Amino acid sequence: MSETSWVILKRDIEAIAVPFGSKMTLPEGSQVRIEQASGGNYTVVTDLGVMCRVNAEDADAIGQFQAMPEASSADANAPFHEDQVWERLKQVYDPEIPVNIVDLGLIYELKSQPLSEGGNRLDIKMTMTAPGCGMGEILKQDVARKAAAVPGVKAVNVEIVFEPQWSLEKMSEAARLQLGL
C-alpha cells in the first residue's frame, strides 16, 4: 500500500503475530497501520510496533472491504487444470514480503494424482524463507485452502520442507524486480 495511516479497530479481532505465528487479540479501539493488503489478508503494525496478520474475514474491523469468502471445497468431479492451482497459490502472500509465494519460489513441488473415486489429490511441497519462521503452519493452511478451492480437487496434502534451502535465486524475475533486487 502506498499510503499508510492509522486505523482505529471497530471491534476486537484475533490476529497472528508475525513472524512468530502466535495468536493474539487486538482490542476494539486500538490503532493499527495497514502495511500490506495481499491475497485477501492484511499485514498491520500496532501502535506498539507489533506486526500482525489480520485475516480477510476481519477486514471490516480495520475499515477495509471484506471479500466474499472462498468456498471451502470446489466441485471435486469438475475438470481439473493444474494451471488453476498455480493461479490460486499466487493469491497466498508472505505477510512480511509483498510478493506471492509462487513468485518467491516457496513452492518446490506440485503433483496431482487422479483418485479412483473421482477428483484429484494434490501433494504440495513448500518451504519458508527462513527455517525458524513461525508463520509456516499459517501459510501451509492458506496453501491447502486455496488449492482445495480449485475445481476437480478432492484432497490436498501440503508438506513444509527445508531441503534444498530457500535462497533469493529461487525467486522469479518479476519478484526480484518488484523488490528491487
At 4 the pLDDT is 66
Q: Phi/psi class of residue 170: alpha, beta or left (left: φ > 0; alpha: ψ in -120 to 50)?
A: alpha
Smallest Cα–Cα separation from 153: which of 100, 101, 113? 113
Q: Is residue 67 part of a domain?
A: no
The answer on 88 and 58 residing in a single domain is no
Q: What is the pTM of this model?
A: 0.83
At 141 the pLDDT is 95
Helix (H) or strand (E) holding 101: helix 101-104
The answer on 170 and 86 residing in a single domain is yes
At 72 the pLDDT is 47
Q: What digits encode the pLDDT tens for the residues 51-102?
A: 999 999 999 999 987 665 555 456 666 789 999 999 999 999 988 888 999 9
The answer on 163 and 89 residing in a single domain is yes
The answer on 174 and 134 residing in a single domain is yes
Please count the structural domains in the chain.
Answer: 2
The rounded Cα 49 to chain-centroid distance in angstroms is 22
Q: What digits encode the pLDDT tens for the residues 13-47?
A: 999 999 999 999 999 999 999 999 888 899 999 99
Give percent of the chain above pLDDT 90: 75
Q: In this structure, are strands 120-126 and 153-160 parallel, antiparallel, or unpaired?
A: parallel
Which domain range does residue 121 map to?
A: 82-178
Total residues belonging to the chain:
181
Tell me the residue type at 162.
F
CATH number assigned to the domain comprising residue 25: 2.30.30
What is the rounded CA–CA span in Å between residue 114 and residue 39? 28
Q: Is residue 15 part of a domain?
A: yes
Average pLDDT over residues 132-161: 94
At 66 the pLDDT is 66
C-alpha cell at position 26:
487486538
The answer on 45 and 101 residing in a single domain is no
Q: Is residue 75 part of a domain?
A: no
- Which of 15, 33, 62 is the endpoint of a domain? 62
For 87, residues 6+ apart whose C-beta sits below 8 A from its C-beta are none
The answer on 90 and 37 residing in a single domain is no
What is the rounded CA–CA span in Å between residue 34 and residue 44? 4
Average pLDDT over residues 143-150: 96
- Kindly tell me if the per-residue pLDDT of 2 is higher than 60: no
CATH number assigned to the domain comprising residue 131: 3.30.300.130
At 38 the pLDDT is 85
The answer on 127 and 95 residing in a single domain is yes
What is the rounded CA–CA span in Å between residue 68 and residue 94? 21
Q: Is residue 71 part of a domain?
A: no
Q: Is residue 1 part of a domain?
A: no
The answer on 49 and 111 residing in a single domain is no
The answer on 90 and 52 residing in a single domain is no
Smallest Cα–Cα separation from 59: which of 41, 43, 32? 41
